[in-house]
Chain A
Amino acid sequence: MSFITNVSKQSPWLYRINAGSCNGCDVELATTALIPRYDVERLGCQYCGTPKHADIVLITGPLTARVKEKVLQVYKEIPAPKVTVAVGICPISGGVFRDSYAIEGPIDKYINVDVNIPGCPPRPQAIIEGIAMAIEIWKERL
């Protein structure tokens, strides 16, 4: 069984949820940090379009009141075993939007967050380290 687990952990598929982010962290995820420039594909990662294919969930944004229900529903559609990573300071504490009337976060009131990557936006190296930690956690759950 440990052989299968060791093989499976080399194929974590990433899914991005934007919970009302300002788009800063999303740009980091989409253009520099992950696939095109620093290349987490060497860890076997690949972006998938739908939550049904995902293993590691990257959540950005402070969870605004408007998207809360939808984010929670999409999160439920991700098949087990899954790992949750909060990218940027917003999902962790609310960041500059903290105490706003429009914010329902921090996100760990509703979802178990496994890895926090603080920063506004975090550096690509930090994001990659966070994903490497998430892969180790994911391996335990397989």
Chain B
Amino acid sequence: MTQAFMAVLARELRLALRRRSEWAQPLVFYAVVATLFALGAAPNAPWLKVAAPSILWVGALLAALLSLDRVFRGDHEDGTLEQLFLSPQPVSLLVAGKLFAQWLVIGLPLTLLAPVLGLGLGMEPNVILVLMLSLLLGMPALILTAGFASALVVGLPRTGVLLPVLVLPLVSPAVVFGAGAVRAAQSGLPAEAPLYFLGAILVLCLCGVPLAAAAALKNALD
């Protein structure tokens, strides 16, 4: 069982190495969005610092969403999904492997880029630490949620605007607590409480999403 999980993980990482744009695109997008906000503001505008937590959080969210609608699409189109369902492995485990790889390829680089952009938006070091912690907890939850949504729409010929419409309401709690933690740190308040909430959301996603996504994929085959 762990062998199959590792095989899925290795396959996804190999695919990411072959298709560089897949992980480079979100990073470039994130950097450009954060920079454009800074360029759009008046020099030294005080509101930029106030808005920085939500800019960095929403930017990371949108960047992660860019390529997530393709997580299961290729496997559905080329027939790999059928082989996954006919294998003796639990499909939820294979789904978990795929989404873990997505986090490694997209989520983790975005989390590591955020402090650099935070510095550019004038964040203090202690605030940047909380920003990283919040993204470390929040990014996997975002990717799991978006993975579930992309499993839901995998059988549809064209998803277009459907995926964001499905995902954005589902991830709003993560954004509220994630940006909230950074804001709390900014105003010198303890940031633990929102971070704990993010942790709880992550655990909920970890337990529920692989099973729900596997069921959604099964539905796409029917």
Q: Do A and B bind each other?
A: no
